[in-house]
């Protein structure tokens, strides 16, 4: 379905078909005494296949802006996506840099 219409659109149909091509297959009968949630993202090992995304309200809650969240992500060995609009950390970024996809208004 489209975002503003109850009818399926060509784009929504294409996305749905792409989604259904993938299957989540549970691993059965594996030893769960030691769990490992580590994954590799952009060639770097991280502790889990999820990461921190910019919230945008951090500056209101904390004068240090995104820095405390970035430090926690580093301690947990998890990816942190710094907003392209944030001034925090410009020129201090290390490692792979990802640009968030922001759709312009129509």
**Contacting residues for 102 by C-beta, under 8 A, at least 6 apart:** 84
pLDDT of residue 16: 82
Asked if 52 and 100 touch (Cβ cutoff 8 Å), the reply is no
Q: Per-residue pLDDT for the chain (106 aa), expressed as one digit of tens each?
A: 545 666 667 677 888 888 888 877 777 787 878 888 898 888 889 999 888 887 777 778 878 878 888 888 889 998 887 766 655 555 555 666 666 666 666 6
pLDDT of residue 42: 82
- DSSP E strands in the chain: the ranges are 39-41, 44-46
């Amino acid at each position: 379905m489209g975002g503003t219409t109850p009818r399926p659109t060509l784009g929504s149909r294409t996305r749905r078909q792409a989604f259904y091509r993938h299957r989540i297959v549970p691993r059965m009968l594996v030893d769960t005494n030691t769990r490992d949630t580590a994954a590799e993202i952009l060639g770097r090992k991280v502790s889990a296949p999820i990461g921190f995304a910019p919230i945008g309200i951090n500056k209101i809650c904390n004068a240090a802006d995104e820095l405390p969240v970035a430090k926690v992500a580093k301690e947990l060995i998890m990816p942190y996506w710094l907003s392209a609009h944030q001034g925090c950390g410009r020129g201090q970024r290390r490692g792979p840099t990802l640009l968030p996809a922001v759709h312009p208004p129509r």
